[in-house]
Amino acid sequence: AAAAAVAQSAMVPGPSTDDALRRLAGMLQLASGEGLTLGYVAAGAAAAYLRFYAHPAGPAPSSSSSSSNPGAMGGGASSRGAAASSSSASPHPPPSELLSPARLASLVRLLKYHPATSGSPALEALEGAPARTGLFDGVVSLAALLLSYGPASDTGCAVLAGGLGGAVVSLMAAGGRSGGMYGTGTYGGGAGGTTMGGGGGGAPGGLLELSPRGVVALMEAVHHAAAPEAEGPQVLSSPPLLSFLLLLLGERHQGALGAWPPSAGGGRPGCFQACVHAVDLVGRPLTPLPGGEGVEPSAYQDMLAAENVMGHLVRVLDSLESEELLLPVNLASRLVLSNTAFAQQFIAAGGLAPATLSRCLSESSPPPVLVDVLLIVSQLARLNKDSFNTYEHLARANIYSQIRRLLTHPDAAVRSRVCNLVGNMCRHSAYFYGALERHGLLPPLIDRCADPDKTTRKFACFAIGNAGFHNASLYGALEPAISPLVALLRDEEDKTRANAAGALGNLVRNSSALCGELIRAGALRALLDTALSPERPAGPAGGKGGAGGGADAGGSPVKIALFSLGNMCAHRECRETLIALGVQDVIRRLSTNPDPTQQKYLQRIQQKLQAGVQAGGGAQGAAGAG
């Protein structure tokens, strides 16, 4: 430890390190013959020094043990991880000699060089066999570190003006144009035997001379180059570049990487590093830029769908766990929510396989992962229809025990999303009604009506309302929800009040079995009070679905309360109670309101009251959506 501290202190930016970088900068030349490797080795050495300039706290430890050697050429810039874990000290600018137009032009030439596609790795003579360092590892790591200063810095402006950003993007795109980096070497390629200008137009170029750590460094460099103020995320939307990133996520590459030693950037840690960086770059063009400029999302989404990106993401999910899932699950969620094509691909790829969902929804998964997975599953339930039956796939996923556990999760965002999921599982039909009761999901769902989180309360009402919408089979199990729903008619949120009013109306929609309990709980009086409450400006309806009132109620508590009162007027016991509570007076007070929907619902109440009188006061049975 003491030796390591001494070594690190020797790398603290100062006159000696400045001098070392100046001398190394003078060696960054593309040469031929036996001198070819000098410029690349010098770039790797310069990168080892520059890490302590870009990140004064020193390189951050990577999840791969290979990154523990900061001096190894091409050891993976890890610039994003280092930046996140470094101290608040500002980066030190590199010596100006490293940023001169001539020096940057030399770096670009090194990046654009095409090694031959046969023979031994270029550095095998230096390292011995098998070579674990690619010829391009050092120059790519140096580019990543220079670009990590950011486009707003003097260093970043200089390297972008010098063409370094475009050079790393072009290097990556070459892999997509050539079909990858699988040559005759050990890992992926690693072919040496280089000749000046070799490779040709369709060759993968320097990608054949990147180790696993070098590939990660390349992705970090492109990440920085694609910043909005730099080259922009639109550079990531080209078909060749997307093709290369999907190659990294593919089974062949992941298999080769998994077999590579962890100490050299492979194994499971290396697979994770490759996955998380590739997924990050695939998702970047989907993030809108200020002012709406940049990539056209729909065109890029079409490209992602055509390349079956979702299939790659689902395969990645099967190899990761816990916090490792953050980026892949988030991208999958964004895609599924954006387009039905991705939802179909998610199911086709096995995204709803019980083992996959069990891993993603495990107790070790952090809340953001749980939220994104619940968003995916909830959206799939929401999309259910005859031509795209998602309910059967969801039933086979068998996630009832996970739903029950997540209904009491300590994170409010998780609780709200799982309530929304239950609501969408009941949105289109009674398909899941039996399962909800068998697996004991209704009691913890009802408890969420008293949740301290307002969004959770809103979606709990939505789910309970839908659980009573299609038939009366769950009315007995839903009876304990009546008093909590009545209490929520006084909630601070209009959307929650509207959902509670709709849910109460649905509890008499198909049967009069709960009329007595509704009366005893004061539901009818509370609905009349809600109908007389001031109407606030309409906003987008929350938890929209079967639980709401009529199709044009628009999430308004007043309108949905009136619609639910109409449902209750179909039953003699409720009708008599409403008359005793002064429903006719409420109708008169609201009759001057010009809102056409309110007037329609008031007329519906009157018609049902009159129909009951004409029928001799008998119950009218189940009420439709009249």
d(CA 81, CA 63): 10
Residues in the chain: 626
Which of these, 437, 361, 366, 427, lies nearest to 399 by C-alpha position?
A: 361
d(CA 498, CA 496): 5
Q: What percent of the chain is modeled with pLDDT above 90? A: 65
Split at pLDDT 50, 70, 90, the class of 100 is very high
DSSP annotation string for 387-406: TB--HHHHHHH--HHHHHHH
Residues 403, 441: contact at Cβ < 8 Å?
A: yes
d(CA 169, CA 190): 20
pLDDT at 295: 54
SS3 452: coil
- The residues with which 181 forms a beta bridge, in sequence order, are none
What's the whole-number mean pLDDT along residues 148-174?
A: 94
Beta-carbon contacts of 102 under 8 Å, excluding residues fewer than 6 positions away, are: none
Which of these, 36, 46, 146, lies nearest to 91 by C-alpha position?
A: 146
Look over the chain and give the mean of its residue pLDDT values, rounded to a whole number.
Answer: 84
Taking only the tens place, the pLDDT of each residue in 172-214 is: 998 876 555 543 334 444 433 322 233 333 446 678 889 999 9
Answer yes or no: is pLDDT of 292 > 60: no
State the Cα angle at 261 between 137 and 267, rounded to 5°.
Answer: 95
Taking only the tens place, the pLDDT of each residue in 301-312 is: 999 999 999 999
Answer yes or no: is pLDDT of 79 > 70: no
pLDDT at 25: 85
Answer yes or no: is pLDDT of 563 > 50: yes
Residues 152, 229: contact at Cβ < 8 Å?
A: yes
What's the whole-number mean pLDDT along residues 485-505?
A: 97
The amino acid sitting at 36 is L
pLDDT at 5: 52
Residue in this structure with the two tokens 């072919």, named with its chain if needed:
191
What's the whole-number mean pLDDT along residues 456-473?
A: 98
Taking only the tens place, the pLDDT of each residue in 235-245 is: 999 999 999 99
pLDDT at 540: 46
The DSSP output letter for 231 is: T
What's the whole-number mean pLDDT along residues 222-227?
A: 96
Q: Which residue has the higher pLDDT, 25 or 63?
A: 25
Answer yes or no: is pLDDT of 371 > 70: yes
Dihedral class, residue 494 (left if φ above 0, else alpha if ψ from -120 to 50, else beta):
alpha
Residue 474, both tokens: 């769950």
d(CA 170, CA 151): 19
pLDDT at 402: 98
Domains with residue ranges and CATH for the chain = 10-283 (no CATH), 433-614 (1.25.10.10)
The DSSP output letter for 518 is: H
Instruction: Provide φ and ψ at 385, rounded to 5°.
Output: -160, 175
Quick one: angle between helices 494-506 and 557-568, nearest 10?
Answer: 10
What's the whole-number mean pLDDT along residues 74-100?
A: 62
State the Cα angle at 447 between 442 and 451, rounded to 5°.
Answer: 140
pLDDT at 310: 97
pLDDT at 296: 60
d(CA 374, CA 336): 11
Residue 68, both tokens: 């523990």
Which of these, 552, 569, 556, lies nearest to 605 by C-alpha position?
A: 569
d(CA 129, CA 424): 58
Q: Which residue has the higher pLDDT, 182 or 591?
A: 591
Largest CA distance in the chain: 106
Residue in this structure with the two tokens 């556990």, named with its chain if needed:
405
Answer yes or no: is pLDDT of 67 > 50: no
Beta-carbon contacts of 161 under 8 Å, excluding residues fewer than 6 positions away, are: none
pLDDT at 527: 98
DSSP annotation string for 16-81: HHHHHHHHHHTT-----GGGHHHHHHHHHHHHHHHHHHHSTT-PPPPSSGGGG-TTSTTS---HHH
Q: Is the peptide bond before 261 cis (omega within 30 degrees of 0)?
A: no
Residues 380, 347: contact at Cβ < 8 Å?
A: yes
CA dihedral 320, 324, 330, 333 (to 10 degrees): 20
d(CA 394, CA 379): 11
Answer yes or no: is pLDDT of 71 > 60: no
Residue 567, both tokens: 């449902």
Answer yes or no: is pLDDT of 73 > 80: no
d(CA 122, CA 304): 36
The CA–CA distances, whole Å, from 204 to 128, 199, 332 equal: 24, 7, 29
